[in-house]
Each structure stands twice: as structure tokens, then as C-alpha cells.
Amino acid sequence: MATATETLVERERELAAIEAALGRLVGERRGGAVWLQGPPGIGKTSLMREGERLARKNGAQALVATGAETETGFPFEIARQALAPLALAHDRAFERALTAPGGKLAAPIVRPDPAATTPEPAHAALYGLTSLFATIARERPLALLVDDLHWADPDSLRFVAYLARRCERLGVLLIVASFEPEHWPHTLAPESRDLESSCQCLRLDALSAEGVEQVLRAAFHETPPGGFASALHARSGGNPLFVRELIASLETAGMRPGARAVRYLEQACPASIARFLERRLELLSTTAHRVCEAAASLPGTPSLELLCEVAGIPQQQLRAALDELQTAGLARADGAHLRFAYPLVRSVVLRSLGSARREQLHALAAKALRLRGASDTEVAARLLHVAPRSDPHALETLLRAGSAALERGQPRAPQRSSSARWRKSTTIRCAASSCCYSGARN
């Protein structure tokens, strides 16, 4: 069985834009700026790697940098990181560019002097770095690729926006990838708007069910049975990273696409995905985390008003919490409701809860749903996770929900000839379970 690879699926539009920009760069020495936008795991980094490969294949020089959460306090780190290979190799073209009039202004950034106490003025630094990249580009077509730009330091963001406005006439191709700008911190809004106005912006979509089937065919070298690609698409939300990791977990479990694997997918949450989502959850404020926990304890797409009740927060605090969840790529407001970005988020949140906290949330959810007139079935689904003493109305609700389920014929009797006997025994079991739930001894 083959492991799922990073084959680019349903990314023809983005690849065509990158190839066209590279064609103009190499053929006409005309630069440009392309901005790939999307949530975590959507495939931005895979496209950036392919862009770097295509640049080098077409004879361009590719300089690469990546933003990091731990380096947001280092001024101009993106430029320094991109230029580091040239500086370390003492590249002749680079050294000449560094001694040119404009390049001299960038020297303190590229090779900082520990004894210097006064940093370069902001505009001088921007002009110096831009001149340095332009001079390097005159020697050989230059592509600058910056991944995870949303984690770049503020000075680097200003430099990237400054360069983007001048790329075309300077003969530099800038390709950047990041979260969508509306998910950036509000303090960076001017830089993101400035950059957006200078770039060809491409938003990456989640894979369709057909795209997921294409990934499955590449991984297993066969067409998956009907419905399996849809099941994988539903579980992963079409996120390419999650699709690959779920396929890899199938391989580890020794499974191939089929009915058994569909049942496995319903509960599967590979450790790699769990860690990925846990890291995003750890960055949330206490309020946003409480909203996330409340949403996980409620069925479907809960209303925002209901979320406030279960999370125990005033509505004024909810908007900021929703912004955090959307920025983290975990959930978003869908009208008056909250929707998790992927079903896997709910699974990870519930698994992260201690038993006492999980029970508390289900009890609060059951109470809030009952007060809002939810069906006994909806309330009972929460009560099944709550200790008997937590809700005095639990027994009556469970009995009504059980009776309604039996009236609907759920679950089905295994054989028609024994349906009456099965119905009687199921009723007895339901009553016995309810008695146990209520703490009765007899």
C-alpha cells in the first residue's frame, strides 16, 4: 500500500498563476507579486515548495524565508533569513550588491554590528533592502518566496509590502503565503491592506469529494468503493493535510478503503492531527477556549446565544472569542450559529477535557437545551454523559426519549419473527437502565 504523498490536487489555478509569473520574470525580466491565502493545512506550503522548484527549473534564483511564531520579535528577520545563504557563501554578486549605494543601507540588517547602538531609520532600512534585492535581480532573475507571512515580525511585513509595490519594475518576483488577511491581528491591518493592493491574491479552497477521491487513487492505486471518498471528505473537511494524515492512519491500521474503514474514520483522529489542532487550541485565550469547549458539548452547529449560556460568558465577549477561533482556523460564525472548521476539531476538544469538566459541560448543555424547548432526544444525548444526581429531570427525559425511539423502531429488531419479544426486552432494558441512572436499588 502506498502512503499518501503531497501530490497537488485541485491546485491548477494557483500553479498556472505561479508559472505565468515565472514566465514573465525569466522571459521579460518583469517582476510581480502573488499572495496565496488560506487556513492551516490547506496546502500553502506544498505550493510554495513547488514554486521554489519551478523557479529553479526555469533558471531563476530562489530565495526562501518562513515566518515563525517564536521570531516575531526579531526585526527584518524575513529579509535576513532569505539572504543568509548568499551572505554565508560570500556570493560575489551579493557582495557587490551590498557595497552599492543602496545596498550599504541594508548592511547593518544583513550583517548586524553588535557594537552598534543606533538602528537604521525605518525608511532607510526599507530602501536599502529593496535596493539590495533589486541589484541581485539584475544579475539573475530573482524569486523571493515567503511562507507563513502572518508570523513575520512587523518590520518584515512592512518590507514585504514595500517591496511588493515595486516588484514589477525592479524585476523581482515575490510569492507569499499566509492566513487570509482578515484573520491577522488588527494591529497588522494597514500592512495587510497595503500588500493586498499590490498582489495577485489567490484563496485556496478545501478539496472537493472528487479531489479527495483523486488523492485516494494516488495513495492506494485503485478507485475507492462508492461512498468512501465522501466519508473521508466529511471527516477531513477537505483539508489536504488532514486527508493525507487520515489515509496514513488507515495504512498504519492495516486497512483499505471499504465499509470497515468508513466505521474507523468516524472515530479516527491521528496523533499528528491531534497535535496540530492542540497547538492551535493552546494559543486561545481562556474565553475563546471556553466557547470552543461549549460548542464541542453541543450538537450540530449551536446558536451563538446558546453558546454564551453553556460557556458562561456575556455576549459582549463572544465576538472577540469568535475572531480568535476563526484566526486559529478552528471555527467560525455561520450566521447566528458556530460551525467547527472540521469535525476533527470537536473530537480533539472533547478528548482534551477531563471527565469532571466534560460532565459539567454536558449537564449545562442539557439544561440549556431543555429550557429552549429542544427535543427529548437532543437532551438525552447530553444526559447520557452526566452522573444521575446532576440533573433531577434526567430520568423522565431519558424515559420519554427511550419510548420515542422504540415508537420509531430504533434500533431495528434483528428478526421480524422475534420483534415482539425484542420490543419487550428492549423496553425492560431501557427501564432498567433508567432505574440504574436514577440510583434506584430495586
Indicate whether 78 belongs to any domain: yes
Full domain range(s) for residue 24:
12-203
Predicted confidence band of residue 186 (pLDDT cuts 50, 70, 90): low
Say if residue 361 is in the same domain as residue 290: yes
Task: Mark whether 194 and 219 lie in a shared domain.
Answer: no
- What are the backbone dihedrals phi and psi of residue 307, each rounded to the nearest 5 degrees, phi first? -60, -45
Please give the Cα distance from 122 to 314 (Å, whole number).
42
One domain for residues 187 and 312: no
Residues 156 and 188 in one domain: yes
On whether both 216 and 198 belong to a single domain, the answer is: no
Q: In what order do the strands lie in the sheet with 172-178?
A: 61-66, 142-147, 172-178, 32-37, 200-203
Please check the confidence at residue 424 and state whether its pLDDT lies above 70: no
117 with 242, same domain: the answer is: no
Secondary structure, 3-state, 223-274? CCCCCHHHHHHHHHCCCHHHHHHHHHHHHHCCCCCCHHHHHHHHHCCCHHHH
* CB-based contact 126:46 (threshold 8 Å): no
Residues 243 and 357 in one domain: no
Q: Which residue is it, cell 448543555? A: 365
The reported pLDDT for the residue numbered 32 is 97
DSSP H helices, 111-188, are: 122-139, 154-164, 167-170
Average pLDDT (203-213) is 96
CA gap 54, 11 in Å, rounded: 15
Q: Residue 355 is part of a domain; what is its CATH number?
A: 1.10.10
**pLDDT of the residue at 88:** 85
On whether residue 76 sits in a domain, the answer given is: yes
- Residues 104-120: what's their mean pLDDT? 67
Q: Of the ranges 106-120, 157-171, 317-331, 386-400, which one carries the lowest mean pLDDT score?
A: 106-120
Summarize the confidence of residues 226-254 as an average pLDDT. 93
Residue 414 has pLDDT above 50, yes or no: no
Long-range contacts formed by 407-412: CB under 8 A, 24+ apart: none
Beta-carbon count within 10 A of 307 CB: 26
- Asked if 162 and 130 count as a contact pair (C-beta separation under 8 A), the reply is yes
Residues 6 or more apart whose CB falls under 8 angstroms from that of 38 comprise 44, 177, 179, 180, 203, 204, 205
Prediction pTM value: 0.77
Q: What is the pLDDT of residue 323?
A: 87
Domain count, the chain: 3
User: If we measure between CA atoms, which residue out of 218, 220, 245 comes closest to residue 232?
Assistant: 245
Compute the distance between CA of residue 11 and CA of residue 204 in angstroms, rounded to an integer: 8
249 and 144 share one domain? no
Confidence of residue 187 (pLDDT cuts 50, 70, 90): low
Do 56 and 170 fall within a single domain? Answer: yes
- Residue 125 CB partners (closer than 8 Å, separation 6+): 76, 105, 106, 108, 109, 119, 155, 159
Boundary (domain end) residue, out of 378, 395, 412: 395
Q: Which residue type does 403 have? A: S
Tell me whether residue 93 is in a domain: yes
- What is the full DSSP assignment across 151-166? GS-HHHHHHHHHHHTT
| Listed residues 157, 183, 203: the one ending a domain | 203
Q: Judge if 146 and 255 occupy the same domain.
A: no
Q: Is residue 30 part of a domain?
A: yes
**For residue range 349-369, what is the model confidence (pLDDT) as tens digits?**
988 888 888 888 888 888 888
Do 249 and 295 sit in the same domain of this protein? no
The pLDDT confidence band at residue 119, using thresholds 50, 70 and 90, is low
The answer for residues whose C-beta is within 8 angstroms of residue 86's C-beta and 6 or more apart is 63, 93, 94, 136
Domain co-membership, 337 together with 376 = yes
User: What is the pLDDT, as a whole number, of residue 429?
Assistant: 45
Q: Give 58-82 pLDDT, tens digit per residue.
A: 999 999 999 988 888 888 999 999 9
Is 134 in contact with 169 (CB distance < 8 Å)? no
Q: At 201, which helix (H) or strand (E)?
A: strand 200-203
Give me the CATH number covering residue 16: 3.40.50.300
